[in-house]
Chains A and B, each alone.
Chain A
Amino acid sequence: MNDIALQNKLLAKFKPFLESTSTRWYIVLVILVAIFAWGISGLVHQITGGHIVTGMRDNVVWGVYIVNFIFFMGLSYAGALVSGVLHLLNSEWRKPIIRMAELVTVISLMIGPFFIFFCIGRLDRLHYLFIHPRIQSPISWDVIGISTDLIGCFIYLYLSFIEDFAILRDQQSINLPRWRQKVYKFLALGYTGTPTQKKIIHTSRTIMSAMIIAIAIIVYSVLAWIFGVTLQPGWDSTIFGPYFVIAAIFSGSGLMIILMWIFRRIYGLEEFITKKHFVNMGVLLLIVAAFYGYFTFCDYLTKWYGSVKINAELINKLFSEFNWMFIFANYIGIIIPIVIVGIPQFRTIRNITIGAVIAVVALWVNRYIIVIPTLETPFLPIQDSRVDWLNYAPTWVEWSLTAAGIAIFIILFKLVSKFLPIISFSEMSHADYRQLKILE
């Protein structure tokens, strides 16, 4: 199939979605906006009433918010993995899912930091992070890292958009309102597809894909060091940097599978996103799950085997109060995806997606039992008569904001996929860079 024919085919495929909007789309949007608005009301409640409305207290000073923060930051690895690593490896099959991966990256990078903001007692002083920074603090490293990552990923995403904007600007088959055509024209930055332009975009994308991998590793390691540099039992671990990176790739690839399944259903993309994609991503998930399980095992084995009192107390807590969470996060969440993908008979699209859902949810729980039990096990025993000061339990405010985070994630995805096709036209019809060189 030549480039133009494929492009036309894709345009025809996405024509109904780009041209008109279904009632169902609006209904879902309204529901999501309502959830988001509910979350905002929770936030207002928290700002006016103080952090006392959350389940956080003097021992467990970070709760579900920080768990969500790490979780969303981890999801952003989907982009680093699919578009970064696979771009460098030049895997052909990745092309239909590149756009999705890059969107996951940018959107989750935008949402993640908000959960840190919810954790901050004085939001009105947030700018102090920039005007009074102390570079010794891992939080300052995080501020630098995340903003660099966000800008880098945004540039990378935009680079991949330019050619598609040009295609949408030039095409005749889809009826678009004038303002949208103008926007496409503006955003295409005068791209006409000359060999020089193609080469520039291709080179910068290759450079950016390499950079994004490096930045992503740094950002997630820094995030792990927020915990790793402290003296707290369970956090003070040298393994945390790489462990967090692997966990992030794990959740990123899991989310990719889920999104592939959803968009395949909504847009009828069976032709482009095939079983091969699910199996390939599934194998990636399997490999990462194996590494992730190995890291988890290493981390807990050393803590459990040794006799340090505070570690023993922590392990005790994990195996009693948090027992079910531990089993779900660290046994089921790792073994199920491995079994589903590992045994060829189980490898159906549906099964792989179920495995991915379990993996992603289990990873969230894993983050929860990294953060909470440690904070409930300080060096000096918690001696308090108030139940909520002894054990952390998230309140409706925290759950509402968590739901709002997921809602805005989907809303942004919906809006972007309304404006641009979720499969990159240009990428699908792209000539290999090496071929391009020969043409010159």
Chain B
Amino acid sequence: MSGKENKKNSSRRKFLKTGITAGISAAAGLTVGGTLAGKAVAGSGRKVKALTTDGKVIEMDEAMVEGSAAESRHVPMTIGRKESMEGLPNRKFVMVVDLAKCKNARACVDACQQGHYLPKDHEWIRVYYMKDSPRTAPYWFPRPCFHCDSPMCVSVCPVGATYKRTDGIVLVDTHRCIGCKFCMTGCPYSARVFHWKEPDVEQPDVPYSPETNVPAVEGTVGKCVWCADNLRKNKLPRCVSACPMGVIYFGDMVEDSVSNGTETVRLSKLLEDRAGYRFKEELGTNPGVYYLPPSNRSFSVESGFEGHEEEIRQRYEKHVKKYNSKK
């Protein structure tokens, strides 16, 4: 019992340390992406930033840092189906999306598509233009996979191609998936996409892992994986570190902390202060993604239409009209 608790405590320290590191380095003007999304090296020889007790950011060898990928985890070269079914120990991941800050910059979408070699059609994270009722204001609504605690998609899969891990992540094994698309009708959030054709983005020559779904397989289902590969290396998901507004927070319920790459905050306090909620709570799927209402917004909702290709703007035309007419 006490041993387990110790383990928990030490892992909390590790997480906080990495989280704060990320925060400080960004504050110091260094790119978060550079720190968090660097190349994975199992072993030492790699410099990482760390926070000393007197508040200085120093660089040191990764292997010397307690909790770093090199020190604490024996990351196998490839995470196969079996390894990918086990969640990271003592973790329960959570995401918080601050709707007040989102201006449809689509950096999350781009980073995700690049990181997972996705075709243009495949948006694992999608930004919706929403308006809840005639008199309320419209807002931008980024929707990743909710990694539900009672996932419909997992329930209905006939071959066990999609599964829920102990750390909360729901994955799809595209080497098991038969492409019946039942999970796509099961998911009430349209979070899943289908490879209707051979992906038109060149796939890297890497061993397949259900944690990345790379290389993509035609005729199978894909969806947001919360960058399980990054989490294994103690890095934030790509959408989180890519967002220029710091809209998306990611963290651990066990630690009760979430980070958007620039600041690390207590999850419970954030949800309390900002009246966090989950989308369509009444469906009972228990999403792992929380939303903060779009109050005191930093940007006008119209700014979200700017700077995009015609195709992106056209997407929202119908709903802009619809929402305006329902005044």
Contact = CB atoms under 8 A, between A and B. Distances in A.
Q: How large is the interface on A (under 10, 10 to 19, 20 to 34, 35 or more residues)?
A: 35 or more
A128 B314 contact: no
A143 interface: yes
B287 to A, nearest CB: 12
B92 interface: no
B180 A119 contact: yes
B273 interface: no
Interface string B52-89: 00000000000000000000000000000000000000
Contact of B194 (A61, A125, A132): A61
Contacts of A56: 196
A138 B179 contact: no
B46 interface: no
Contact of B190 (A136, A230, A378): A378
B197 A52 contact: yes
Interface string A219-256: 00000001001111001000000000000000000000
A52 B180 contact: no
A16 interface: no
A318 B116 CA distance: 38
Contacts of B221: 121
A128 B158 CA distance: 9
Interface in A70-105: none
B189 A380 contact: yes
B184 interface: yes
Contacts of A140: 158
Interface string A138-153: 1110010000000000
A50 B311 contact: no
Contacts of A128: 159, 176, 178
Given A51-B219, A375-B185, A378-B190, A129 B156 contact: no
B283 A226 contact: no
A50 B315 contact: no
A137 B157 contact: yes
Contacts of B192: 58
B109 to A, nearest CB: 13
Contact of B188 (A136, A139, A378): A378
Given A231-B152, A381-B319, A385-B315, A50 B177 contact: no
A232 B156 CA distance: 13
Contacts, number: 132
B319 A58 contact: no
A232 B311 contact: no
Interface in B168-214: 176-182, 184-186, 188-190, 192-198
Contacts of B114: none
Contacts of B181: 61-62, 119, 121
A120 B180 contact: yes
A119 B184 CA distance: 13
Interface in A242-286: none
B143 interface: yes
A120 B179 contact: yes
Contacts of B189: 379-380
B159 A132 contact: yes
A139 B184 contact: no
A382 B189 CA distance: 11
B280 interface: yes
A49 B217 CA distance: 14
Interface residues of B, number: 49
Contacts of A136: 155-156
A383 interface: yes
Contacts of A134: 157-160
A125 B178 contact: yes
Contact of A379 (B155, B177, B188, B195): B188
B156 A229 contact: yes
A121 B155 contact: no
A49 B178 contact: no
A367 B322 CA distance: 29
A89 B314 CA distance: 62
B260 interface: no
A121 B158 contact: no
A61 to B, nearest CB: 4
Q: Which of B126, B155, B182, B318 has the most CB of A within 10 A?
A: B182
A8 to B, nearest CB: 53
A138 B319 CA distance: 35
Given A120-B180, A381-B128, A383-B315, A133 B159 contact: yes
A49 B197 contact: yes
A122 B185 contact: no
A137 B219 contact: no
B218 interface: yes
A137 B158 contact: yes
A189 interface: no
A58 B178 contact: no
A223 to B, nearest CB: 13
A426 B130 CA distance: 68
B196 A51 contact: yes
Given A121-B220, A231-B152, A132 B160 contact: yes
Interface string B147-159: 0000010011111
Given A52-B196, A120-B179, A140-B158, A383 B152 contact: no
A58 B190 contact: yes
A138 B156 CA distance: 7
Nearest to B174: A122
A57 interface: yes
Given A134-B157, A379-B190, A122 B219 contact: yes
A50 B219 contact: yes
7 contacts: A58-B192, A133-B158, A137-B155, A138-B156, A230-B152, A231-B285, A378-B188
Given A119-B180, A120-B219, 14 more contacts: A50-B198, A51-B197, A120-B178, A120-B180, A121-B221, A126-B178, A132-B160, A137-B182, A140-B158, A230-B156, A235-B185, A378-B190, A379-B189, A381-B319
Q: Which 3 A-B pairs have the closest CB atoms?
A: A121-B179, A121-B219, A50-B197
